Amino acid sequence: MENGTVINVLYFAQVAELTGTRLENWPLNEPITGEQWLNALEQKYPQLAPTRRLKLAVNQFHVKPSAVINPGDEVAVFEPVTGG
Amino acid sequence: MVVVQTEDFNSAELTADLRERTAKHAGALVTFTGYVRDYAGEKETHTLFLEHYPGMCEREIGDICQQAQSRWNTAEPVVVHRVGEMHNGEQIVFVGVASAHRGDAFRACEFIIDALKTRAPFWKRETLANGEQFWVQQRESDARKTQEWETKQAS
């Protein structure tokens, strides 16, 4: 699979526990919004529902669900953060 | 200076280093240290585990520090945040801010720790004394505080 046809997805903390994986290559040929991708994520991992509560980072920056995800991006999905 | 590490840190040394670096112009130095509590809700805790997103985490904290520095005219802040497993009473996070005046130093320090709690990609998992484990939920009050900083004037 060529690099341009996937996104690298990172799962953290409780999301990683629910998916059972921390890193996954996700096929993606065309740009998609974060919201559309979260819906696809929920189809693949129903145990994550409702995914609209989850937060996204694209290429290591927080983004809103309306942001566009492009092939080749690094996408991270996680629960609201709890540091400090 | 932003450091994310598993090892404990020496807050006295971090404070002394910041003081040495800023002694010529800083009339105020404010530090905050966060510690592991021995309870969660009404239950006794055993250990706290912190996970982070390497790379994004350091960059996000760096951005928060830069915002604080430009908004309140402080010297470069110091943030050290631990990850991994920590026991009750251990240090989790250190924030140090030096500025010409105390108001700026207090506000910048509080802004940084508030922003850390809602923007820096860390996740806490508690293990209770009875062995039960759970991931900590973000507090609504923390999210509200971050929003308040966005609307507040830099005064």
Q: Which residue range forms the structural domain that includes residue A12?
A: 3-78
* CATH of residue B88: 3.90.1170.40
For residue A84, being part of any structural domain is answered with no
For residue A83, being part of any structural domain is answered with no
Cross-chain Cβ contact A81/B137 below 8 Å:
no
Exposed, middle or buried by CB within 10 Å (0-12, 13-18, 19+), for B137? Answer: exposed
Number of domains present in the structure of chain A = 1
Q: What is the torsional sign of CA B117, B118, B121, B122? A: positive
User: Is the per-residue pLDDT at B142 higher than 70?
Assistant: yes
Question: CA-CA distance, A17 to A34, in Å (whole number)?
Answer: 21
Mean pLDDT of B133-148: 92
Number of domains present in the structure of chain B = 1
For residue B76, being part of any structural domain is answered with yes
Cross-chain Cβ contact B53/A12 below 8 Å:
yes
Q: Does A23 touch chain B (CB under 8 A)?
A: no
Interstrand relation of A74-78 and A6-11 (parallel, antiparallel or unpaired): parallel
Q: Which residue range forms the structural domain that includes residue B25?
A: 2-149
User: Is the per-residue pLDDT at B93 higher than 60?
Assistant: yes
pLDDT tens digits for range B8-33: 999 999 999 999 999 999 999 999 99
Question: CA-CA distance, B110 to B116, in Å (whole number)?
Answer: 10
- ipTM attached to this prediction: 0.93
